[in-house]
Each structure stands twice: as C-alpha cells, then as structure tokens.
Amino acid sequence: MSEEADATEIFRQRLATARDKRELSQQDLAKKSGLPASSISHFEGGGRKPSFDNLRRLANALNVTTDFLLGRTDEIGTATAAQTLHRHLDKLNADDLDIAEKFIEVLAARKGGPKPDG
C-alpha cells in the first residue's frame, strides 16, 4: 500500500472513530460541520479527501485536532476539550467552579469513568 493510500485509510478510520466517540451520526456531523452528509460518507468511505478548510471544519465539529484525524497523534482531543473549558474558568466564582467540577464528574461517570465522590 502506498504512503498516500495509508494516509487516506488512517484519515477515514480516525474520522469514523471520532464521530463514534462523540456519538454522532454522519448526518449529525454534517449538520454540525456545515458539510453535506454525502461528503461525510465519501470521506469515511475513502472515496474523497477533504480540503484543508473541510478538515478544519470536521476537527472543530468533532472537538479533535487535525493531527488526530491525520494520524499524527493518537490523542483524540481531550486536551482540546480541556482548553475549551479552561477559557471560561476565569468567569466563574468558587461556588460555580465547584458545581462545574461535580457536573463534569457526573458526565464522566455516565460513560464509565470514575464515580464522583460523595
């Protein structure tokens, strides 16, 4: 398999993995990214490659890095999500921060993560 074919295979697998991880259908991802559902299907099927702009739109919609989608890192984007949340922390008081932390713990526990204390 050529290097280009390998890159296409990695991209299509990573796109599907990220979409499944975010629990989005192809239609949901299309709506969220502003792309046609047929494009998502073609990207995941390996029939088409996204433009740079579409790659960026997909990464933003999935809250992952373009490096993840391209196979340059195995991190799906938890740092990106943390950075997004971190931008809002300075706007919260101590009580709100406590509520936010407990809420995130509850959400993580729903997906099989560690159970919240208390």
Domain boundaries, the chain: 3-70, 78-110
pTM for this entry: 0.66
Residue in the structure block whose two tokens are 């990207």: 43
Task: Tell me which of 1.10.3720.10, 3.40.50.1820, 2.170.150.20, 1.10.260.40 is the CATH number of domain 3-70.
Answer: 1.10.260.40
CB of 84 closer than 8 Å to CB of 20: no
Taking CA atoms, 97 is separated from 3, 83, 88, 117, in Å, by 47, 15, 10, 16
pLDDT in tens, 5-39: 688 899 999 999 999 999 999 999 999 999 999 99
Helix intervals (H) in 34-77 = 37-45, 52-62, 66-70
- When the pLDDT of each residue in the chain is averaged and rounded to a whole number, the result is 86
pLDDT of residue 113: 56
